[in-house]
Amino acid sequence: MTFEEKNVWLNAGTTLGAFLVYLAVILGRTGAVPLVEVAYIAPLLWVIGASIAAVIFGNILMAIIWPREACQKDVRDREIERFGDYPGQIFIICGGVSAMILAMLKVNHFWIANAVYLCFVLSGLLSSAVKIYSYRRGIPSC
């Protein structure tokens, strides 16, 4: 497994882990108050911050463990990176559009923030899935 593929697994794991933690925290707070009144801002900022820090820390740790591989990003890695990023961008657009529509409809900000976060998560997971598939099975040609 190349260093870049390990990075993709790290990103996917961190994104999914952070989302599940956030979901557990939010759903755990819904007992006494309705969902839209749950204090979501602090947990959301914490999981986003923690996942960014985890990716950076994990990357540094991997570079310490595999120092030679860390500097070996080649043309295939770059191609897979580009190929994987394209489908992920669909959800970035969906996030922007859904936030715009929800704001126009004057929906509670809880839903706007969470719709954007969900789209970021889906974007990251789809990109990672396409990249892992490309590493394992090859880049499909049209």
Partner 1 sequence: MLKQTRISNKLRALRFARGEMTQAERAERVGVTRQTVIAIEQGRYSPSLEMAFKLARIFEVPLDQVFQYQEEDKNEQK
Calpha distance 79→38 (Å, rounded): 42
**3-state class of 42 per DSSP?**
helix
Task: Give residues with Cβ within 8 angstroms of 125, minimum separation 6.
Answer: 12, 15, 16
Restricting to residues 120-139, which ones interact with partner 1 according to CB under 8 A?
137-139
DSSP annotation of 105 reads T
State which residue, 31 or 140, has the beta carbon closest to partner 1. 140
State which residue, 5 or 35, has the beta carbon closest to partner 1. 5
Restricting to residues 4-43, which ones interact with partner 1 according to CB under 8 A?
5
State which residue, 77 or 119, has the beta carbon closest to partner 1. 77
Of the candidates 59, 64, 45, the one whose C-alpha atom is nearest the C-alpha of residue 14 is: 59
- Burial class from Cβ neighbours inside 10 Å (0-12, 13-18, 19+) for residue 24 reads exposed
Q: Token pair for residue 44?
A: 């959301």
106 lines the binding site for partner 1 (CB under 8 A): no
Q: Which of 30, 75, 88, 129 binds partner 1 (CB under 8 A)?
A: 75
In the complex, minimum distance from the CB of residue 56 to partner 1, in angstroms, rounded to a whole number: 23
In the complex, minimum distance from the CB of residue 59 to partner 1, in angstroms, rounded to a whole number: 17
Restricting to residues 77-96, which ones interact with partner 1 according to CB under 8 A?
77
Residues at the interface with partner 1 (CB under 8 A): 1-2, 5, 69, 72, 74-77, 137-142
